[in-house]
Amino acid sequence: MAVEDARALARAAKCFCYKRSTDRNVRARDLRWWRLAGDPHCVSDIGPRGPGGSTITASSAPPKRSDFLSFSPPTIGEEEIREVVDTLRSRWISTGPKTKRFEDEFAAFLRAPGALALNSCTAALHTALKTLGIGPGDEVITTPMTFTASVNVIEHVGARPVLVDVEPDTLNIDPRKVEAAITAHTRAILPVHYGGHPADLDPLRASARAHGLGIVEDAAHALPACYKGRPIGSEGNPVAFSFYATKNLTTGEGGMLTAEPEFLARARVISLHGMSRDAWKRYDEGGSWFYEVLVPGFKYNMTDIQAALGLWQLRKLRQFQARRRAVVSEYDRAFADEPALERPVTRPDVEHAWHLYVLRLRDDALMIGRDRFIQELADRNIGTSVHFIPIHIHPYYRDKYGYTPGSFPVAYDNYRRMLSLPLNPGLTDRDVGDVIEAVLDVVRTYRA
């Protein structure tokens, strides 16, 4: 049977019950009813059905590139490799002189008052909350549209995460909902700069000032983003960055906390066992063996091996970002006139870091859902991902706080129709063209 005939049959069947309903129980019930009634053309999340209930595909072998395009591999050059080897041949491979250089250069790059290198963004967030003295009985307001680390750290300090929904365009935390969620127990706001687009910080700062709250920014995606002309991380409040393998700057694993020097001095003690001095100060020339434990701290320090990577990655960051922006421009141009696709936005008062390029599918325009769309791209050798599974539908948070998918409808609605396309400075023009052609081919094949 021809694909066009199958599309016509699927449309004629008008099996909107499963695909259009937002209630999962109704969708499942109606899907079963249509199948029992013998309708072979009901549209479901696994794709349209042809005669006899078989899944319709565009062809037995969809057009695809010869090799699989990974979603986000790191971009590592010979300079990084030589710097790491130099560290391995030196007298110091743990936290030492290169870590200090990386902190200083990172702070200078962002015009930040100071920087503390750590072994992850999670460590930076956790350390910041502990340094602020947040603990049991306190509340921290944050977003459901984030990786679980942003919320786990609130649980780690014994506080309660209070989730509020996101804005429908940027998918960043909604400042109006933040203001409405503040109680006598609120101690801090933890905005996440989703995908690299800065959250709307001015109203969040106004709420924080009015209620005497701290702001801890999760900038895992936001290097090097700017908000109203100032780099994220350049203000005095604590801001946490990620150097995970997929990030705009990588140290393999790693993170950085920027803040005022006085805050970082306390955070530095907390981040390394609560000790009054680190190993470099104890063991290097002129150092003293003596130290004291001031608080029961953590083991969150970055090594010089990681910092060696970071030093060169930082020097290449502007070059990396230029390529990311060029890829984004090609994606935007290709998808601008496609009604089945909703492109990411950039508000006029920000500079987007473009860690992610998140497409959102328009339900009424396609016969397949997000999961099938991702599989179709994989069949064409294009790797993708989803950012993120909202916090409130993970079993731990769902069960502990009694959330349902509809508790945060904007986050959930966008989650179920979003996917992230490959975006990294190593993409060639051919790679970008292959992604674009694969996406448009899936849209053409399954247009409703």
Task: Point out the residues that are catalytic.
Answer: 247
Q: Tell me the C-alpha distance between 90 and 309, whole Å.
A: 15
Say what angle helices 121-131 and 149-156 make with each other, to 10 degrees. 40
End-to-end Cα spacing for the chain: 18
Comparing CA positions, the residue from 253, 146, 231 lying closest to residue 193 is 146
Q: Which residues of 263-293 are buried (b: 16+ CB within 10 A; e: fewer)?
A: bbebbbbbbbbebebbbbeeeeeeeeeebee
B/e letters for 356-376, b = 16+ CB within 10 Å, e = fewer, are bbbbbbebeebbbbbebbbeb
3 state SS of 258:
strand
DSSP-assigned letter for residue 318: H
Please give the C-alpha separations between residue 34 and each of 13, 27, 29, in angstroms, as whole numbers.
10, 11, 9
Adjacency order of strands within the sheet including 350-351: 230-231, 226-227, 350-351
8 Å CB contact between 350 and 197: yes
Any idea which residue has 């936290």 for tokens? 95
CB 208 within 8 A of CB 181: no
